[in-house]
């Protein structure tokens, strides 16, 4: 299965990083451990790997914003 995920869209990476930081911040503030799952979008944004693309084999965001 070849995945064309060399890079995420220009909007997607910063969005994932910000979303991850917000979720982790909520976890620290409220004490709800479920929000620590924000580490997943944070790492995905930093590394540039889209787990949804790996699972499905396609990425609709990359399909819309090819350069």
- C-alpha–C-alpha distance, residues 28 and 7, integer Å: 30
Cβ distance 24 to 35 under 8 Å? Answer: yes
Bigger pLDDT: 60 or 24?
24
What's the pLDDT tens digit per position in 2-52? 444 445 567 778 888 999 999 999 999 999 999 999 999 899 888 877 777
Indicate whether this model's pTM tops 0.75: no
pLDDT value, residue 2: 43
Which of 16, 23, 13, 15 is closest to 42 using CA atoms? 16
Q: Which two tokens stand for residue 22?
A: 């917000």
Q: What b/e readout covers 6-22, taking b as 16+ CB neighbours within 10 angstroms?
A: eebbeebbeebbebbee
Bigger pLDDT: 1 or 44?
44
């Amino acid at each position: 299965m070849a995945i064309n995920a060399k890079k995420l869209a220009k909007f997607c990476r910063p969005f994932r990083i910000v979303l991850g930081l917000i979720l982790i911040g909520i976890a620290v503030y409220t004490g709800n451990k479920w929000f620590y799952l924000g580490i997943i979008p944070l790492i995905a944004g930093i590394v540039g790997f889209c787990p949804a693309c790996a699972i499905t084999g396609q990425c609709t965001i990359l399909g819309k914003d090819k350069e």
